[in-house]
Structure 1
Amino acid sequence: MAAQVSTETKPYDTINVTPMLDLAYVLLVVFILMTTASVQGLTITLPKPSNKPATEKHELVIVQVAANGQLLVNGAALSLPEVERQLVQARSRDPKMSVAIKGDATAAYEQVVQVIDLCNRLAIDMGLVTARIGT
């Protein structure tokens, strides 16, 4: 007796995804190449710095807020109303004067805000002085 060979074919229960992955990789490479090619062709007009040196010099008043809340104007200890008087006098001498506010890291934030509010009320340009990390 000879063994009978089955002529039935079994359906596949798995799908070969290798051709689909190859197509996905090719599409990914094409997308990357087209994206970088379009970005390299982008033209941007950047602003140019002026070569003219600043000839105008305006008065700078330094207001420091110490850790204990004391206010110092150019090194002299003053109260808030005295600071206001100093700033008004400085602005009358130079209308384009500015104030640099140096607040100690451990100072009460309220004192720094009072100086900022004072500068805003007097319409004086101001800036906060910070230290670089690691210095």
Structure 2
Amino acid sequence: MNLRPRQKRSDLIVDLTPMIDVVFLMLIFFMVSTSFTANNSIKLDLPQSKAQAANKEEKQVVISIKADGQLYVQDERVKDADLRRRILNITKGDPNMRVVIRADADARHKRLVYALDTIRELGMGKVGIATVPLGGK
């Protein structure tokens, strides 16, 4: 028989510091790896405008025109002959889908007109030209 009085155990203290460190590291990782803005992979020098930006709709077709005249639809390079077909594939013939043209400020005017003519031939009614705010980039 054990007649010695039992020693009281001190209360266990759980150190939360390592767990908090891990949670903060995970938070930082997810914040850095998440993109909060639309990241356009084609770098263009857009013209400046005083007009305010329109609300971005969920589904839209983006046509980009680089300074050297290359055409891109949804960041995918297309030839002039394929522009019409590519737009039809994305819109599925919906004339109410918004079309945004992102033309470099140094792009030739005739390339912009070519894109606008193609859009008009397809009967697309909602067309916009992307710009940056005056004095901004």
TM-score (norm 1): 0.54
Q: What's the Cα RMSD here? A: 2.0
The amino acid that maps onto 1:59 is K
- Alpha-carbon shift at residue 63 of structure 1 (Å): 0.3
Aligned residues: 80
Write the distance in 1 (CA, Å) between the matches of 2:100 and 2:106. 18
For residue 109 of structure 2, what is the aligned residue in structure 1?
Answer: 109
Per the alignment, do residues 95 and 116 of structure 1 end up closer, same or farther by CA in structure 2, a change over 3 Å counting? closer
The amino acid that maps onto 2:107 is A
Residues 61 and 91, structure 2, Cα contact 8 Å, conserved in 1: no
- Alpha-carbon shift at residue 95 of structure 1 (Å): 4.4
- Alpha-carbon shift at residue 58 of structure 1 (Å): 5.6
The amino acid that maps onto 1:128 is I
Write the distance in 2 (CA, Å) between the matches of 1:74 and 1:91. 12
Instruction: Classify the secondary structure of the residue corresponding to 2:69.
Output: coil
What per-residue deviation string (whole Å, max 9, x for no partner) do you get for residues 75-121 of structure 1? 11111221210111223264421210011010111000000011111
Identity percentage of aligned residues: 27
Write the distance in 1 (CA, Å) between the matches of 2:93 and 2:113. 25
The structure in which a higher percent of residues are helix is 1
Residues 60 and 100, structure 1, Cα contact 8 Å, conserved in 2: yes
Write the distance in 1 (CA, Å) between the matches of 2:97 and 2:81. 19
Per the alignment, do residues 62 and 84 of structure 1 end up closer, same or farther by CA in structure 2, a change over 3 Å counting? same
Unaligned 5+ runs, structure 2: 1-56
User: What are the within-5 Å matches in structure 2 for residues 26-37 of structure 1?
Assistant: none
For residue 133 of structure 2, what is the aligned residue in structure 1?
Answer: 132
Unaligned 5+ runs, structure 1: 1-56
Residues 59 and 90, structure 1, Cα contact 8 Å, conserved in 2: no
User: What are the within-5 Å matches in structure 2 for residues 1-135 of structure 1?
Assistant: 59-92=59-92, 94-124=94-124, 125-135=126-136
Runs of 4 or more off by more than 4 Å in structure 1?
none
Q: Higher RCO, 1 or 2 (CA under 8 Å, sep at least 6)?
A: 2
